[in-house]
Amino acid sequence: MNKNTQPTQAPQYKNAVRQNTQSQPAKKRRRKIRFKPNKEGMLALIALLVIVALAVTLIVFVAKGIIYLANNTQDETTASSDNNQPPATLPWNNAYISDPRSNTDVAAGELILVNFKNDYELTDTLKSKLTKLSERDSYKKEGYYVLSALDLGIRTDIIEQLDSMLIALVDANPETLGKQKGTDRLLISSGYRDIQKQTELYENRKEENYVALPKQSEHHTGYAVDIQVFKADQSTVHLRPEEQSWMEAHCAEYGFILRYDGSKHELTGILDESWHYRYVGVPHATYMMEHSLCLEEYLEKLRTSHSYDKTPLEFSVGETDYLVYYVPATENATLTEIPVPPASEGTYTISGDNMNGFIVTVTKAS
């Protein structure tokens, strides 16, 4: 083959390719959409946004207003409810202060208990605290009673009450009691007794079961007195029914109780002694007589139900109101801090019980 010879189909191929290329359609370009708002559109958009903002603000303010009104209504309801409730009551002993007392004073006072379980140790130290009934005008001048002995004494601090009761007893029974010789007279047969006198009585009459052992007699305290009748024929008898009835009905008005009526023998250790009267103070005597309590029962009631850490015993005698409560003596100490009311709330007295505590009697301020 001649080197200069060229293929004859080549140009046709190129033309075909060109023709094919030219015969295909041209590709379309994608147009980008562009937002071109005019002036009126922008103003409308801004107005819409302002309206939405105002609507949201209005909704927020309305919601806050509803919450505020609801809270105020609840507060007013709560305040109204609180105003309808009574004010809080302060404790009965809210303002009480302390009055320290020696623990030896447990054995001193008008409510001391002396019986077969509780000895009294201060008997022979009381003579300076006694007054002889023979020194009273009711004995010396007016003749309201006679005495078994001229040295018969009683506690000085109760002499006025005893004297008044004896005079009232005689005046209330003019048909049976007189004030002159030749008439039946009121007889005070016993008052204070020392240990020696009690020992003699016990040895002479211990079989009768009426005389307490030495140190176990209330006569050691000076708060007890025996009342009988000395007849015109010089014999001695117990109070007669009219006289006894008057005493039982009125003795509490002077601070005395009928100590042994026989019904509480198991507690007192003493049989019926219709002649034996004991001073305990007007409020206590009144409460005990009205509730048929002997001294043992009364003190037990105060210890168990009306101690200072609980509630006081509250009652009235006439128009006078009283609070009574028990305070135990502080163990292993020489002093007991006794809570008492301030002067603005009333006056008070403190008595030992001759066991292990103190009784506070408050006369409430009117």
Which residues are the active-site residues? 273
Whose CA is closest to 101, among 348, 297, 363, 304? 348
Asked whether 221 and 112 are in contact (CB, 8 A), the reply is: yes
In 10 A of CB 321, how many CB atoms? 16
Task: Give the length of the chain.
Answer: 366
**Coil, strand or helix at 218:** helix
How far apart are alpha carbons 116 and 216 in whole angstroms?
Answer: 6
Tokens of residue 224, six digits: 């007890």
**What is the rounded CA–CA span in Å between residue 140 and residue 158?**
19
Q: What does the alpha-carbon distance between residue 206 and residue 52 come to, in Å, rounded to a whole number?
A: 113
Contacts (Cβ under 8 Å, ≥6 apart) of 179: 142, 143, 144, 170, 185
Joined together, the tokens standing for residue 205 give: 């009459």
Q: Cα–Cα distance between 307 and 358 in angstroms, integer?
A: 10
